[in-house]
Amino acid sequence: MRDIARGAGITDAAIYYHFSSKRDLFEALFEERGITPALSQLEQVTFSQLRSPLEDLTALAMVALDILHRNRDFMKVIFSEAISEDPIATDEYRVVTERWRRGQARILQEYVRRGDLPRCDVEVAARQLVVLAVGPFADALMSGQDREGAEPSPDLVARVRTAVELFVRGLEAAPR
């Protein structure tokens, strides 16, 4: 819990006073850090708001990268705890990424329905879109290329943007 407190920028005493469990703490931090509200917005996107797969899916990845970057200290704790097979951290990470994946799958399914994308396994495609944002972010953290500041580095933005654009173009080019 001490590492979580440090990553969240609060004292150990405050954690033990306010939260009865690690799960309660993680859920509160996901909410307070804007992650849960962002997922709710993704889940409530109306199809009339959609423009094009390339534009929208790239924009969603950029929003996700911004959220990850603004919460990089918290994300370091989540990644570290999940990698060390902490069941609560692993479960919380899974819950968040599953909501993210389902939100993207819903949007992809609408693009397929409208004919903007050919038929594809939208569940797999949505999972890949999540990985295309999380992967470069985690790589930047682990390789020491992470930078302080309000925004992710231009290089990291370019890596995520390029990965998503190439992926979407690949989907669009698939036989119909």
Assess if CATH 2.130.10.10 describes domain 35-173. Answer: no
- The DSSP string of the chain is -HHHHHHHT--HHHHHHH-SSHHHHHHHHHHHTTHHHHHHHHHT--GGG---HHHHHHHHHHHHHHHHHHTHHHHHHHHHHHHTT-HHHHHHHHHHHHHHHHHHHHHHHHHHHHTSS-S--HHHHHHHHHHHHHHHHHHHHHTT----SSS--HHHHHHHHHHHHHHHHHHHHS--
For residue 1, what pLDDT is reported? 57
Which has the minimum average pLDDT: 66-70, 71-75, 93-97? 71-75
For residue 2, what pLDDT is reported? 61
Which has the minimum average pLDDT: 32-36, 37-41, 164-168? 32-36
Name the most confidently modeled range: 68-72, 148-152, 155-159.
Answer: 155-159
